[in-house]
Amino acid sequence: MTRNPTRPRVVLTTTWPRSANAFYGPVIDQFHSRGYDVHVVTSDGPEVPSLRKRADVVHIIAMERAISPLSDLRALWVWVRLLHALKPDLVLGGTPKASLLGLVAARLNRVPRRAYFLLGLRLEGTTGLLHRVLGAMEWLTSWSSHVILAVSPSLAARFVGLHLAAGRPVKVPHYGSTHGVDSDHFHPVPRDPAFIRDLSLDPELPIALFVGRLTADKGPDALSGALDLLRLDGVRLQLLVLGAQDEEDSTRYRKQLEASATPVRVIGHVRDVRPYLSAADLLVLPTRREGMPNVVLEAAAMGVPSVTTTATGAIDSVVDGETGILVPPDDPRSLAEAVRRLLTDPGLSRRMGDSARSRAVRFFGPGDVASAIAEMTMSQGTATRSEAEPSDRS
């Protein structure tokens, strides 16, 4: 590969192209505006063609999400050779496996600037040997980097508290999130009864929306329990579930929800969540762990209040009592009470939705977030987040 000596080169990576497509669009634009050639390294997938339209070059390396020693060693060898040929000035690694492989290879190649884009903590909720292995992987990724960019203040604090940073600085770009939210693209629109009927739902009944995989970390047990309690209290609603249901426990949790007396409609991954958000009265995310939940910011930009938890990452996405309601994880009764408050008090729901949009517009502009990510990757962090949290200034 022939290197253009007049242009610096940055390598961005995620394990799967869907993540790269979702997280790195504005960041790619930022690096281009600063004169960089942008290379993306990811596994193969249907999103690769659209990535190739935005990045200068896309390189395919097969990487497994799960721990797979032989596959991981093969991928690391390919990574080392690729970076030796590219000789990049910067490497920014996001998602656990791609960050580990890419940043270790970058350190072996003595890449001048290496940043770990910390999107969440997979080890939260694990125990025993798996917990120790995941912790060692995080520490090694940190040790291979110069700076760690955490997507929320609580995630940064948790990472440092678990002694995973290997002495590296942990910073939050702007006010957090992977890529902010485009409040022109996500904006309030009237509810469409015909669209709701097409979903086999009743336009006259409130709709709670859950977006994500049905897996233990997302709190489906608490959600099922809350639905049962709401039904006993005479609160009528419908649950709409969006997302790829491809985890090992997804089928079990889907059946558990569909067995509820509450009407439940499960739809797979969709390219555009906006029609579903506009149909919803609230977003419910009873998660046990997050980095910073993008769907809460998208709902906020559309004026939809959220009920989520005080878990890592999720706690930063809502100003409790102002833009939504926070409840403890794994607490069906508190979750049910929060949902009931919003469904039975339209004025409160409307005020929270309006405040949520105002906060999303003010603090989570994609350009601001991407600019801070690029700046922190290039330097020692001149674009640090101000001392005041967005919840203090919303």
Longest dimension (CA), the chain: 69
Distance CA 293, CA 311 (A): 11
What is 9-180+365-393's CATH superfamily?
Glycogen Phosphorylase B; (3.40.50.2000)
Strand, coil or helix: 140: helix
Q: How far apart are CA 219 and CA 125, in angstroms?
A: 11
Place of tokens 């209290």: 233
Cα 268 to Cα 85, 245, 252, 290: the distances in Å are 40, 7, 15, 21
Token duo for residue 210: 């859950």
Determine how β-strand 113-118 pairs with β-strand 57-60: unpaired
**Contacts with 360 (C-beta within 8 Å, 6 or more apart), sequence order:** 181, 183, 186, 297, 300, 301
233/236 Cα distance (integer angstroms): 9
Residue 328's nearest CA partner among 210, 337, 373 is 337
Specify whether the CB–CB gap between 76 and 53 falls below 8 A.
no
Distance CA 57, CA 41 (A): 9
For residues 114 and 40, give the distance between their C-alpha atoms in angstroms, rounded to a whole number.
Answer: 15
The DSSP secondary structure of 264-318, one letter per residue, reads: EEEE---S--HHHHHH-SEEEE--S--S--HHHHHHHHTT--EEEESSTTGGGT-
Note the pLDDT of residue 394.
Answer: 35
3-state SS class at 136 = helix
Question: What are the φ/ψ torsions at residue 228 (nearest 5 degrees)?
Answer: -65, -45
Strand partners, 319: none
CA separation for the pair 37, 277 (Å, rounded)? 36
**Quick one: which of 237, 226, 236 has its CA closest to 332?**
226
Partner residues linked to 41 by β-bridges: 13, 59
Same CATH topology for 9-180+365-393 and 193-363: the answer is yes
Distance CA 126, CA 132 (A): 9
The per-residue pLDDT string of the chain (394 residues; one tens digit each, 9 = 90 and over) reads 444 567 999 999 999 998 888 889 999 999 999 999 999 999 999 999 999 999 999 999 999 988 899 999 999 999 999 999 999 999 999 999 999 999 999 999 999 999 999 999 999 989 999 999 999 999 999 999 999 999 999 999 999 999 999 999 999 999 999 999 999 999 999 999 999 999 999 999 999 999 998 999 999 999 999 999 999 999 999 999 998 888 888 899 999 998 888 999 999 889 899 999 999 999 999 999 999 999 999 999 999 999 999 999 999 999 999 999 999 999 999 999 999 999 999 999 999 999 999 999 999 999 999 999 999 999 854 333 333 334 433 3
First to last CA, the chain: 49
Residues near 156 by beta carbon (within 8 Å), at least 6 away in sequence: 118, 148, 150, 170, 171, 172
Average pLDDT across the chain, whole number: 93
What's the predicted TM-score (pTM) here?
A: 0.91
The CATH-assigned architecture of domain 193-363 is 3-Layer(aba) Sandwich (3.40)
Instruction: Read off φ and ψ for residue 171, nearest 5 degrees.
Output: -125, 155
H helix or E strand, kind and range, residue 196: helix 193-198
Please give the backbone phi and psi of residue 273, each rounded to the nearest 5 degrees, phi first.
-85, -5
**Confidence at residue 5, expressed as pLDDT on a 0 to 100 scale:** 62
Q: Say how many C-beta atoms besides its own lie within 10 A of residue 288's C-beta.
A: 19
pLDDT tens digit sequence for 157-216: 999 999 999 999 999 999 999 999 999 999 999 999 999 999 999 999 999 999 998 999
Q: Where are the domains of the chain?
A: 9-180+365-393, 193-363
CA distances from 364 to 77, 150, 173 (A): 38, 15, 10
3-state secondary structure 85-102: HHCCCEEEEECHHHHHHH
In sequence order, what are the beta bridge partners of 38?
A: 10
- Predicted pLDDT at 382: 36
